Amino acid sequence: MRAMQKPPLTHWLLYCRPGFEQDCAQEALRQARQQKPVIAEQPAIIAESGYAIVALNEQQLSYRELIFARQLIRLHHTIAALPERDRLTPVLSAVAALPGSFGALWLEVPDTNDGKTLSAFTRRFQPLLEEKLREQGRLPEDIKLPRLHIFFPDKSSALIGTGDPYNSAAAIMGIMRQSMPAEAPSRSTLKLAEAIEVFMDRSEQTRLLRQGMTAVDLGAAPGGWTWQLVKRGIRVTAVDNGPMKGVLAKHPLVEHLKRDGFKFTPHKTVDWLVCDMVEKPSKVAKLIEEWFAAGWCRHAIFNLKLPMKQRLAALDSALDGIRKRLDEEGINYRMMAKQLYHDREEVTVFLTKTKG
């Protein structure tokens, strides 16, 4: 009697913030198990590497629904030992085995200190590989085609995969970098700037961030998040016992109230609630629930600070609590969560009321 063959496995490469590899893989496997049981053996997780690999049988992963993954790539080939004097030949050989053409070639490295030392190499290597692929007709100008990703964990190995432009991040290494504005009072402004770019397309930004809108910034000082709203012409009530700094100290669009953000309530509904307070995720989630249930805001972007252990469990509990309360209140909504590049031990959440 012939033994049953195991179905071929699909390996997925996910980039993440260094230190969150286990959370990234755990979340991806959980998403896969919601479709059917995962029968594959899980590849080893390398701590502080900035990436994780999961092996699945037939399940597909949805990048949009993954919180800790910066990028989602279908992994086709691993070159474990690249020769130092000729890295081009084995890479071209591996790519030759892949079907079809590619809309772009992205050479990437981990977001780690060691990874940054490889950036000079990838800049030199990119045009060489690109030229060969163009000669072969493998790189037509078509953004609808899969992207070819060559990921170098180190100088001696390469992971070769493809990215679906409709199911992945549209930025190299999955990082939507932001420039620090000279007038912004703190680097926290980059978190809200990135969140706006990640969670809203251009048309939605135009519609939801209009001049003349109103907002409340809880835990505002020194004003990094308030600055992002004010520069768009939005009037902000900044709530914090600490001082607002720089141009925001006396800005005509800013009303600074020295109060506890957890106790403040607005006199009337505002368009936006933003919140970057250092507190347990459960407490911040409860605050957001109350604001939406009471009808005090229409849209929100907020951060959930994660504990050192059981981060995924704490995040699930906070987000599930919000979902349950809004469902009970009969509120139609859309919620997205992502650990952004400018985040640290936290996850940023976008929550907006929608029409039924």
Q: What's 216's domain CATH number?
A: 3.40.50.150
Q: Please answer whether residues 79 and 96 qualify as being in contact, where contact means their C-beta atoms are separated by less than 8 angstroms.
A: no
| Final residue before a domain boundary, out of 116, 146, 174 | 174
How open is the CA angle 71-77-83, to the nearest 5 degrees? Answer: 110
Active site residue 231: no
Distance CA 207, CA 112 (A): 37
Structural domain contains residue 4: no
310: Cβ–Cβ under 8 A, 6 or more apart, which residues? none
Q: Is 100 exposed, middle or buried (0-12, 13-18, 19+ CB in 10 A)?
A: exposed
With residue 203 as reference, give the H or E element that holds it.
helix 202-208
Predicted TM-score (pTM) of the model is: 0.93
pLDDT for the residue 7: 63
The pLDDT tens digits of the residues spanning 308-333 come to 889 999 999 999 999 999 999 999 99
221 shares a domain with 257 = yes
126 shares a domain with 270 = no
209 shares a domain with 158 = no
Q: Is 20 exposed, middle or buried (0-12, 13-18, 19+ CB in 10 A)?
A: buried
Match 């990437």 to its residue by tokens: 108
Structural domain contains residue 127: yes
349 shares a domain with 261 = yes
The pLDDT tens digits of the residues spanning 200-242 come to 999 999 999 999 999 999 999 999 999 999 999 999 999 999 9
Task: Using a pLDDT cut of 70, give the percent of the chain over it.
Answer: 97
Q: How confident is the model at residue 1 (pLDDT cuts 50, 70, 90)?
A: very low
Rounded to a whole number of angstroms, the CA Rg of the chain reads 23
The pLDDT tens digits of the residues spanning 245-265 come to 999 999 999 999 999 999 999
255 shares a domain with 163 = no
Q: Which residue among the candidates 116, 305, 338, 355 is catalytic per the annotation?
A: 305
* pLDDT of 60 above 70: yes
With residue 11 as reference, give the H or E element that holds it.
strand 10-15
The pLDDT tens digits of the residues spanning 133-177 come to 999 999 998 999 999 999 999 989 999 999 999 999 999 999 998
Residues of 316-331 as b/e, b for ≥16 C-beta within 10 angstroms? eebbebbeebbeeeee
To the nearest whole number, what is the mean pLDDT of the chain? 94
* pLDDT of 306 above 70: yes
Structural domain contains residue 146: yes
CATH of residue 22: 3.30.2130.30
For residue 225, the enclosing domain spans 189-353
